[in-house]
Structure 1
Amino acid sequence: MDFTMNMEKTMGRLKNGAFLSVRSGTKVNTMTIGWGYIGIMWNKPYFMVLVRPQRYTNELLGEAEDFTVSIPFGNDLNKELGICGTKSGRDIDKSETVEFIPSKVTKSPVIKGCDMYYECKIKFKQLMNGDEFPEDVKSASYPLKDYHYMYFGEIVECYEGE
């Protein structure tokens, strides 16, 4: 599949919501993301996702070796995106909201019914340094000073949904 074409499709839809999913041992969770970055790092394709420290997904990502991003292009999964963006996997079983299906390469599953899938191996993570942000960004996006962790996932598989 053409990485550049998929990148353009993905970035155009990401702001409308996507599912970031992770498996750590027997625990599986997904959350809604609207921010991210796809590009070339260290001469390979990467998907960088941002997760706040207090999120249950962050806890699982800290123990996992991979993650997936499942992107719906239409509005069919808007209800599910809303639930997964407002409810914690600590409090609800997300498999009652979305259908997890096996991915092709990673241990982390993908979400059934999406149009584009990225499977990523975690290669690097870093907590953002809030001291480096402009004041307008800090006040608008980080009033609680809960700066995101950035997870750099090497894209090991990318494909369209059926």
Structure 2
Amino acid sequence: MMLERVAADKLQLDVFSVFGTNNGLLMAGDTDDARVMTVGWANLGRTWNIPTCIVYVRPERYTYEYMETHEYFSLSVLPMKQHDKVIYCGIHSGRDTDKIKDCDFSLQYGMGDTPLIDTAEWALVCKKLYVQDLSPQGVTDSRVLRSYTQEGWHRMYIGQVVEAYRQKTE
């Protein structure tokens, strides 16, 4: 399987069923080393009249360091038949195991040598535009606090969608 590059506006995405159900795999790194983690929180749309993808990563996550040190990140959404790999990447830390090897992921590389999972249904490569820490001072609804019982607050990364990919059609 292999991803082909397409215009971002050609992707027909049902984001409300993906995030929170199937979830995405966030990757940061390059051809020398990459990290992957499951994300259930993501936003796709336009920010500052730019096509954007927004992801959220806690500082405790192993991938956080690469999100901080690399200019680009990717988001890959696997088909449901590979959902076990999404779950695996969500419950295991890259500090303890090589998730890319364990899941037998084959990678492709986009702009900035950003890794993508080539068996994804679709994937985006994003260039970081804006980074900000979420904090309890910004909370206006107490339901938000349920996500913060033990670990730290997420950092929000707004990335410009610079490349979009989907599974090649024969």
Same fold (TM over 0.5): yes
Determine the structure 2 residue equivalent to 1:115: 121
1: CA distance, partners of 2:68 / 2:106: 20
> Measured at CA, do residues 24 and 157 of structure 1 come closer, stay the same or move farther in structure 2, by a change above 3 Å?
closer
Determine the structure 2 residue equivalent to 1:136: 143
- Structure 2: gaps of 5 or more residues: 1-5
Q: How many residues align?
A: 160
1:37 pairs with one of 40, 43, 50:
43
2: CA distance, partners of 1:14 / 1:5: 19
User: Post-superposition shift, 1:10?
Assistant: 3.5
Tell me which stretches of 4 or more aligned residues in structure 1 moved more than 6 Å: none
Asked if residue 13 in structure 1 is aligned to residue 10 in structure 2, the reply is no
Determine the structure 1 residue equivalent to 2:32: 26
Q: Which moved more, 1:21-30 or 1:63-72?
A: 21-30
Higher RCO structure (Cα 8 Å, ≥6 apart): 2
User: Post-superposition shift, 1:18?
Assistant: 1.0
> Measured at CA, do residues 3 and 10 of structure 1 come closer, stay the same or move farther in structure 2, by a change above 3 Å?
farther
Q: If the length of structure 1 is used for normalisation, what is the TM-score? A: 0.88
> Measured at CA, do residues 42 and 2 of structure 1 come closer, stay the same or move farther in structure 2, by a change above 3 Å?
same
Determine the structure 2 residue equivalent to 1:47: 53
Q: If the length of structure 2 is used for normalisation, what is the TM-score? A: 0.85
